[in-house]
Amino acid sequence: MSTTASPAPQSGSRPGGRSARVRAAVHRAVKELVADDAAEPPTIPVVAARAGVHATTVYRRWGTVGDLLSDVMTSRFSGDIVVPDTGSLRGDLERYASDLAKDLGDPDTLALVRATIGTGGEQGAAACSADRRRQLEAILEREEARGGAAPSLEHTTDAILAPLYYRAVFTGLPLTTEWAHTLVAHLLPDEAAASSAASAPADPR
């Protein structure tokens, strides 16, 4: 899945300067608008008015609402990657799945994800999931470095990431830790069986 890089700063801009302040104000305006059910849809003029900047500034930097929402979503997840390290692939994936379920269960985050996917299409979907795929990839690579056998990134994405996003975005079903863990059990059925056998009480006979 391809990702969309954040737009490069305009020529002459400097970190912490006007360009950074404009970006922060526009990002904040987008988050407020998508979190407010009664607010107008996040069009460029509406976002610009909420942010207190000229619409031409927003058009020049982001071009479309889809590009803007993708940038906000990418920024939302950037630096938010904490790859679990429990010592086992099963433990890492269970922590990953439950943490993502909790994140997607946050109303403001879910509103932003839905708006980004709905407006940005494939690009928006990539912005919502790219960092999460990289996190999964890091978990799988670490298991291989331990000497273990890890499923492919594509298989793991289909088994864990896709159901989490589908359940969050398209259904009203709860994202519980227990349900998230069943995704890992389906991906690693042999490990799940081994874990159950190890925890079962000894036969008294």
pLDDT in tens, 142-154: 999 999 999 999 9
Position 202 pLDDT exceeds 60: no
Same fold, 18-63 and 81-194: no
Q: Which of 150, 42, 27, 38 is nearest to 88 (CA)?
A: 150
Which stretches of 83-106 are DSSP H helices? Answer: 89-104
Which fold does the domain 18-63 belong to in CATH? Arc Repressor Mutant, subunit A (1.10.10)
Q: Where are the domains of the chain?
A: 18-63, 81-194
pTM reported for the whole predicted model: 0.75
Which stretches of 13-88 are DSSP H helices? Answer: 18-35, 44-51, 55-62, 65-77
pLDDT of residue 126: 86
Per the CB < 8 A criterion, the answer to whether 78 and 132 are in contact is no
The CATH superfamily assigned to 81-194 is Tetracycline Repressor, domain 2 (1.10.357.10)
